[in-house]
Amino acid sequence: MVGPPCPPARGHQDDVLAELGPLHGSLRKLTIVGLRSLFAFCKKNGTVFRNPTTRIRVGQQEYGVIQPLSPGEVDEAVTTATTPAARLVLALAAVHAARSGTICALRLDDVDLGNRRLVIAGRARPLDDFTRELVQRWLGYRRARWPGTANPHLLVTQQTASGTSPASSFLGQEDAARPHSNPRTTTRRPST
């Protein structure tokens, strides 16, 4: 015996629809996909003769309306962003609606402080005073922390400062060095 027996198919889509009734959105879609897979497996192995989920439509994915953050959530985000990099990332996301991948891909030549321009995802936009100040603070911190880095990206981490790759998961990393976080770059002392 391979596993537990499959549940018997009652032969009616009404039973399946009754179970799916209270479900909405992605939970409903995942449940239908799971049931289809389960009944297809049972039908293949001869446990059931009919798949009651075959003509049930998944429907279109319902997307919720994006709501603005409450003042408490904004205050929490601002107090959480304590490093120059975190403040800059927060400003780029909140003020310029940049996604995390786009933020990590920003290059130094995408920022033109003199002309107050910022290029995000190939589109030039004006650089407001708030974001400009945060960029200047970050660049000062970056210059002091990694004075010899040749990385062309705006945001660098301890791991990317010695190369030219973008910071792939900048939001989850701290600016403080983590000497034992990456086993490939960790130097080991010889055992005595």
What's 79's domain CATH number? 1.10.443.10
Tokens of 76: 């929490």
Structurally, the chain folds into a number of domains equal to 2
Whole-angstrom distance, CA of residue 100 vs CA of residue 92:
9
Whether the predicted pLDDT of 79 surpasses 60: yes
Percent of the chain with pLDDT over 90: 30
89 plus 146 within the same structural domain: yes
| 190 domain residue, yes or no | no
Q: Calculate the CA 141 to chain-centre distance.
A: 26
| 187 domain residue, yes or no | no
pLDDT band for position 3 (cuts 50, 70, 90): low
Whether the predicted pLDDT of 107 surpasses 90: yes
Whether the predicted pLDDT of 112 surpasses 90: yes
| 100 domain residue, yes or no | yes
121-175 pLDDT, tens digit each: 899 999 999 999 999 999 999 999 999 999 999 999 888 888 888 887 555 444 4
Q: What b/e string do you get for 61-91 counting C-beta neighbours within 10 Å, with b at 16 or more?
A: eeeeeeeeeeeeeeeeeeeebeebbbbbbbb
107 plus 167 within the same structural domain: yes
pLDDT band for position 61 (cuts 50, 70, 90): low
89 plus 117 within the same structural domain: yes
Whole-angstrom distance, CA of residue 88 vs CA of residue 159:
19
| 177 domain residue, yes or no | no
Whether the predicted pLDDT of 191 surpasses 60: no
75 plus 135 within the same structural domain: yes
Q: Which domain holds residue 114?
A: 71-172
39 plus 91 within the same structural domain: no
Return all residues near 16 (Cβ < 8 A) that are at least 6 apart: 35, 52, 53, 56
93 plus 133 within the same structural domain: yes
pLDDT at 54 (0 to 100): 79
Whole-angstrom distance, CA of residue 84 vs CA of residue 139:
9
pLDDT at 14 (0 to 100): 83
pLDDT band for position 50 (cuts 50, 70, 90): confident
Q: Virtual CA dihedral for 139, 144, 147, 151, nearest 10 degrees? A: -40
| 181 domain residue, yes or no | no
Whole-angstrom distance, CA of residue 127 vs CA of residue 115:
8
75 plus 165 within the same structural domain: yes
Q: Calculate the CA 154 to chain-centre distance.
A: 19
pLDDT band for position 77 (cuts 50, 70, 90): confident
| 55 domain residue, yes or no | yes
Element spanning 7, H or E = none
pLDDT at 7 (0 to 100): 54
Instruction: Please give the average per-residue pLDDT across 85-89, as a whole number.
Output: 91
pLDDT at 42 (0 to 100): 87
Mean pLDDT for the chain overall: 79
165 plus 124 within the same structural domain: yes
